[in-house]
Amino acid sequence: MIASVIGGGSWGSAFSIHLGRKGIETKLWIREPEIYDSTCIHRENKTFLPGVKFPRPVSFYNNVKQAIKGTDIVFIVIPSEYCREMYGIISPFLTKNQIIVSLTKGIERTSLKRMSELMKEVFDPEVTSRIAVLSGPSFAREVSDSHPTAVVVASEESAIARTIQSFVSSDFFRVYTSNDVLGVELAGALKNIIAISAGISDGLGYGRNTLAALITRGIAEITRLGVKMGAKPDTFSGLAGIGDLVLTCTGKLSRNRHVGFELGKGNSIQSILKEMKMVAEGVTTTLSARKFADDYKIEMPICEQMYEILYKNKDPRQALKDLMKRKLKEEKIF
CA angle 146, 147, 148 (to 5 degrees): 110
Please name the residues in contact with 293: beta carbons below 8 A apart, sequence gap of 6 or more: 225, 299, 300, 303, 304
Exactly one of 191, 274, 312, 325 is catalytic; name it. 191
What is the distance between the alpha carbons of residues 15 and 151, in angstroms, rounded to a whole number?
Answer: 12
Active-site residue flag, 191: yes
CA angle 185, 190, 193 (to 5 degrees): 155
Beta bridge partners of 173: 149
Beta bridge partners of 58: 26
DSSP string across 163-223: HHHHHH--SSEEEEEES-HHHHHHHHHHHHHHHHHHHHHHHTT--HHHHHHHHHHHHHHHH
Nearest Cα neighbor of 21 from 51, 52, 58 is 58
Residue 68 half-sphere exposure toward CB, CA atoms < 13 A = 23
Catalytic machinery residues: 191
